[in-house]
Every structure is written in C-alpha cells, then in structure tokens.
Amino acid sequence: MSSDSKKILIATSGGDCPGLNAVLRAFVKSATNEPGWEVWGSRQSFNGLLGIPQELIRLDRKTVSGIHVKGGTILGTTKESGPFNWPVKRADGTTEYVDRSDEFVRICQFAGFSAIVNIGGDGSQRMTLALHKKGLPVIGIPKTIDNDLEATDVTFGFQSAVDVATEAVDRLVSTAESHNRIQILELMGKHSGWITLHAAIAGGAEVCLIPEIPYDITKISAFLRRRFDGGKRFAVIAVAEGAIPLGAGPAEARGVKAHPNISIKLSGAAERFAGELKNAGFEGIRCTILGHVQRGGTPVPFDRILGAQYGIKAFEMVKNGEFGRMASCQNGQMTSVPLEEATRSLKRVPLDGALIQTARNINICFGD
C-alpha cells in the first residue's frame, strides 16, 4: 500500500441508524476540500469490495449533496456478512461461513487504499480491529441507536431513536388513560436500557424494565395495585427487548439462528411480561412493539450535527495516520481512542448514575 496514496475506502456496517448519511457527507466534504483525496464507498458494508462484481462508488460532493437529512445509509449496510464471516450456500441449502479476511487485505492493498474507514457498532468495530491486526490502516466511527458503545459518550442515532420512542410513550399514555388499560411498549436494547430509560423519563412511563435491572413481578404488581387503588387505573410500561425477570434470562427468539456476527436474537419481552401481569390478576393489557421504527427515518438535528462532527474527525484521523483507533466524543470534544478500548465491553446504564436516580425520584418503578 503506497504511503503517498490518497485513496480512502469507507463503509457503513451493522444495523442502520439515523445520522449515517450526515457522517458520510461531512467526511467526503472534508476530504474533497483538500487536493488529491479520493473517497470510495463500499456497498453493503465490505460486501462491495469482496463481492463479484465489486460494488464501489466514488463519493464526491455531488454524491453526498443534501444526504444529511436522509435516514438509513446511501451505501447500504449488512450484519449478515463480512470479511471474517462470508456466507457461502452449500448444495444442501445450508450456509457455511468462510474467512476471506486475507483476501480482503490483498484487495485493499492492490487497490491502493491508504485508509479504510468503518462506521459501525460494537460488532462492526470488533471487525475493524481484527482487520487492523492484519495490517490494514483502519479507522472506526461509532454508530448505534443503542448508545451502548464503550469509550464514547454519545453515538449519533440515539437521540433520533429516543425521539421516536418518547412519542410512542406519549401516544400510549393518552389511549391507556382513556380505556383504563396497561399499555406495554417494547423498545430496542438487547444489552442496555438507554433508549427505554430515556423514553420512560421523557414520556412519563410508570414502569421501566431494562436489562441492567432484573425485575421482580411481585414488586411491579404491588406498585400497580397501589397506583390503581389511588385512583389512576392505567399505566404505561416501557420494556427493553433485553429486559430480564428475576432468575431468568432475556426473551430469546425461538427458531431463529443468530448469525456469527450477531450475539443473540431477542423477541417477546413485552408479551412475556404481559403474561406475567395477567397471571398476577391484571386485565386490559395491550402490547406495542416499536421495533425498527426506532432505527428508520430522518435524523434529529442533534444526530445530524454529531454525525458531521464524527465525519470531520475521522478525516482528520486519516490525515494524521491515527490508525487502529475509533473517533470518540468525550465531554463534548471529538477525540480518538484505541479500538481495543472501544470494543472491550459494552456501555450499560450505571445503576448508581444520575439518570436512574432521576427516574426513581419521579417514582418510576424498575421492579427491584
């Protein structure tokens, strides 16, 4: 790989998220503000480079013009394949995953990319780190609506997801009150309850169940009985998809095989909790699963701005040769951290943090 090359490969990997296009636009604008730099986008994460035919697109000012307001990613993305886990269909219809990472390195070197930028969440950044260990000049940009990436204070997409989740709580409050019902809202967050906690506080849910705090149904029943006896005969309950009853595990999707890139597939946290409430004698229960609505659509202004800051920082890192690192936002400042640090563990809601305390002070029940 020639060190004077000014050719950059960029990809969006893992689940999509509002703000990805704002990052791409700012990155490309920063690069093309300076002479000689060429930015190439790989379609569907790194499939664009490894696939036959290749699907790479030259990203210039025209390609990225006005895209910051759009949801999703103009490059497309995937969770289901990558250089280390490339799916190959066997004759019997099953899928085998093969490691094509050495080939990936050779193709990048042959094409003369002097930097490879991967915008992705926890799993994707582990892939970025593994590519770095194979000698590639990589840079990560953190992305997840779940806000669970370690070593950065915030990720773009999170505020947009909280916006949608809060609107859902708001809407459920009015219908719950009209019918004297218990409305359960299932929100995203396999391992962390950031979206659920924020939406519960902002929307005014009565109960908030997050993966960090195993819940005890008897405590929630007692809480709801007191509320109902006090005259308020409705409740909105925000449940993270990874919520866990005391002594049990998260609600795993049955019959769905998780891909090697995906830790666990979840499904049914709200339904399971509804069943527990019915068994405890409650009636008039309804469930809403907000699902991918939280990931789609236009980013809120905060995420557009944060996305632009990440894009600009990542290009600065390319110019400085800060490889093997991830752009990070700390105390409102853009900086960078080693990918090892960024992928060491997930950022979960701290139980002694101000946000949990805020929720407790306004009488939100966690079932603990």
Binding site for ligand F6P (CB under 6 A): 15, 79, 121, 144-146, 188-190, 241, 295
- Nearer Cβ to ligand F6P, position 15 or 311? 15
In sequence order, what are the beta bridge partners of 326?
140, 337
**How far out from the chain centre does Cα 120 lie?**
8
CA distance 167 to 163: 6
- Nearer Cβ to ligand F6P, position 114 or 160? 160
Cβ 46 to ligand F6P shortest distance, Å = 17
- Nearer Cβ to ligand F6P, position 15 or 83? 15
Helix (H) or strand (E) holding 288: strand 285-289
Cβ 71 to ligand F6P shortest distance, Å = 14
Cβ(295)–Cβ(16) under 8 Å? yes
- Nearer Cβ to ligand F6P, position 114 or 155? 155
Strands 182-187 and 95-98: unpaired
Cβ(335)–Cβ(48) under 8 Å? no
CA distance 154 to 157: 9
Strands lying side by side in the sheet with 7-12: 56-59, 38-42, 7-12, 113-120, 138-142, 325-330, 333-338
CA distance 168 to 352: 27
Cβ 241 to ligand F6P shortest distance, Å = 6
End-to-end Cα distance, the chain: 56
- Nearer Cβ to ligand F6P, position 209 or 317? 209
The Cα-based distances of 224 to 81, 132, 221 in angstroms read 45, 52, 5
Q: Residue with CB nearest ligand F6P?
A: 188
CA distance 273 to 286: 11
DSSP states of 167-229:
HHHHHHHHHHHHHT-EEEEEE--SS--HHHHHHHHHHT-SEEE-TTS-B-HHHHHHHHHHHHH
- Nearer Cβ to ligand F6P, position 146 or 206? 146
User: Is 92 one of the catalytic residues?
Assistant: no
Cβ 22 to ligand F6P shortest distance, Å = 18
Catalytic residue among 122, 146, 148, 163: 146
Count of other CB atoms within 10 angstroms of residue 249: 10
Active site (catalytic) residues:
146
